[in-house]
Amino acid sequence: MEKKLRKSIQEKEVQMAKLMKHADKSSFCADLYNKIVLEKAILKKELDELDKNVFAENIKRLMPRKKVYISDYFKE
């Protein structure tokens, strides 16, 4: 899955490089370029989600945190 996402991101970069030349000349190319940028951002976010350790994130969320009060800042 990770290799597939990385390959898709590389393909989007190639498409963006080709469209960059024509984005100034045509509104259609500019719109297509913007669409590809969004698709690439979505793919990168999915890749980041794969890298996260879901189990560790759930444990961190369930662990109680020490509360910090304003008076704690004024203690010596």
Q: What is the pLDDT of residues 8-30, one digit of tens each?
A: 989 999 998 988 888 788 888 88
Helices (H), the chain: 2-20, 27-51, 54-62
Q: Count other C-beta atoms under 10 Å from residue 64's C-beta.
A: 5
- Given this model, what pLDDT does residue 38 score? 95
- The answer to whether 35 and 12 have CB atoms below 8 angstroms apart is no
From CA 37, how far away is CA 20, in angstroms rounded? Answer: 11
> What's the token pair of residue 64?
């109680």
- Judged against a pLDDT cut of 70, whether residue 4 lies above it is answered with yes
What percent of the chain is modeled with pLDDT above 70?
Answer: 97
pTM recorded for the entire structure: 0.64
Residue carrying the six token digits 């080709």: 18
40 three-state secondary structure = helix
Interval 25-44 mean pLDDT:
90
